[in-house]
A and B are shown apart, each in its own frame.
Chain A
């Protein structure tokens, strides 16, 4: 495999890669800020749009008295525009920020095997780790019901203070935001498209509206005789195990022990399927819920409410 030209070609290849990586850190690092919004060490954020910094929600532990330190060492006051615990994103506004805005990479750069750097500023200087994108998948839903455009798992060390910092390619272009707060501490990246979408909503309304029924549900398998007798679409349903008092589900008369089998004509067999029907545009609309109560089929109309804003999260993460 090693032809005669390989030796000369390979002589500087490591040095050239090293220069590329250090150059990427230097360029992209200009947009990385330290956020002082918790005890212990600062968190990282990235100057996403002029005057707007994106960060990881779980690292912003207070809503007031937030400051950021930019690359040149200047510390500026910041105001929290809003946070979305479901995608672990928060957006800050900083007036008079002089640091350059992040240069985004094309989404096609997010592919398995891509050499990437995670950058953070958990202090005055930008710091780095090197790794690869280890897995890429389609749209997924977080534990807290947020939608992330693509699943991007990283083989990279997310050190203390790195969550909220950018994932960059070897040219210093930003692919997304790193967080260890979405998956039991595993290193994931939130793609730039999701950051844009969440930032748009937070900047427009200060919050991420989400549909809400106030019901806790658990998938169960229904007896065959019942499925046949009621001519149900399939043998799986969602048993209501809790109903928040005063919630849309409670007010519509849903009882603990009811088994949801369909919304309109769409069968529901998993709570995530129901969550997917509760997007922000659905708030205020009525849905027709087919359920089984005491062995008898019933249909109830529920008007989708807006989910109360979750409190600050105490999830672990870096």
Chain B
């Protein structure tokens, strides 16, 4: 009977996280994922996903929006896309952002994305290692989780559904995510205000 609440909780969490995730298409370069960062339409993805300046964003419910890449940091492999039109942007579900510094090795993590073009696929794993960076913040989150091309740019969330990282690479079978603290610094340096870089309800 214990698996029942577990399956229930996981399904609920996947449903919520799916609403925070978009499919990112940029002219012929395949499909990646993105995280809805703010309700007014800032989407975070990888720089290697947002190769061109314009992007098409597909929401969980199938709606398609158009976006413009407004910031790109190849070193951190991050990009910000602003929704510019293609439909009403009201009803966007921004992700709840967590704190990667609270993660411990062994904590459950959940990834949402479009691996190999499969829309809104869930993966479950654990934190494998937190690679130390500056000031106690992890430089990378290494996760024992099965990801594939198409997960790039999508969310890695903790057991409460709070996004802690942006899935960026697969190395040696491990999923490698850029921590959200790095995303906040990227947005800050790109001139976004505190509303965009800060933490809400976390």
Q: A13 touching B5 by the CB < 8 A rule?
A: yes
Q: Which residues of B contact A (CB under 8 A)?
A: 4-6, 8-10, 12-13, 104-108, 125-130, 142, 144, 158-160, 172-174
Complex: A11 Cα to B5 Cα, angstroms: 8
Q: How many residues of A contact B (CB 8 A)?
A: 30
A-B CB contacts (within 8 Å), total count = 88
A17 lies within 8 A of B144 (CB): no
Secondary structure at the B interface, as helix, strand, loop or mixed, is mixed
Question: Could you say which of A10, A13, A21 contacts B107, with CB atoms under 8 Å apart?
Answer: A21
Write the A8-20 contact mask toward B (1 if CB under 8 angstroms, else 0).
Answer: 0111011101110
A26 to B, closest residue via Cβ: B104
Asked if A166 lies at the interface with its beta carbon under 8 angstroms from chain B, I say no
A129 within 8 A of B: yes
A159 smallest CB distance to B (angstroms) = 7
**Given A157-B173, A160-B172; A13-B9 close (CB under 8 Å):** yes
Residues of A within 8 A of B104 (CB): 22, 25-26
Quote the shortest CB–CB distance from A141 to chain B (angstroms): 30
Q: Flag the segment in A43-51, A120-128, A197-205, A280-288 that touches B.
A: A120-128
* CA gap between A22 and B127 in the complex, in Å: 9
**Cβ contact within 8 Å between A117 and B5:** no
Complex alpha-carbon distance, A29 and B144, angstroms: 17
Q: Interface 1/0s, chain A 138-160, versus B by CB < 8 A?
A: 00000000000000000001011
Q: Are A128 and B127 in contact (CB under 8 A)?
A: yes
Q: Which A residues contact B (CB, under 8 angstroms)?
A: 1-2, 6-7, 9-11, 13-15, 17-19, 21-26, 29, 117, 125-130, 157, 159-160
Which one of B5, B13, B129 lies within 8 Å of A6 (CB-CB)? B5
- Further contacts, 6 of them, CB under 8 A, given A13-B6, A13-B9: A13-B5, A14-B9, A25-B105, A125-B130, A126-B105, A157-B144
The CA-CA distance from A26 to B107 in the complex, in Å, is: 11
Asked whether, in the complex, the Cβ of A14 is within 8 Å of the Cβ of B172, the reply is no
The minimal Cβ–Cβ distance linking A129 to chain B, given in whole angstroms, is: 4
Q: How far is the CA of A127 from the CA of B160 in the complex (A)?
A: 22
Nearest-CB distance from A5 to chain B (Å)? 9
Given contacts A21-B108, A159-B172, contact A127 B128 (CB under 8 A): yes
Given A21-B106, A25-B104, A129-B126, A14 contacting B13 (CB threshold 8 A): yes
Q: Give the docked Cα–Cα distance between A22 and B158 (Å).
A: 12
* A-B CB contact pairs (8 Å), 7 listed: A11-B9, A14-B13, A18-B107, A25-B105, A26-B106, A128-B106, A159-B144
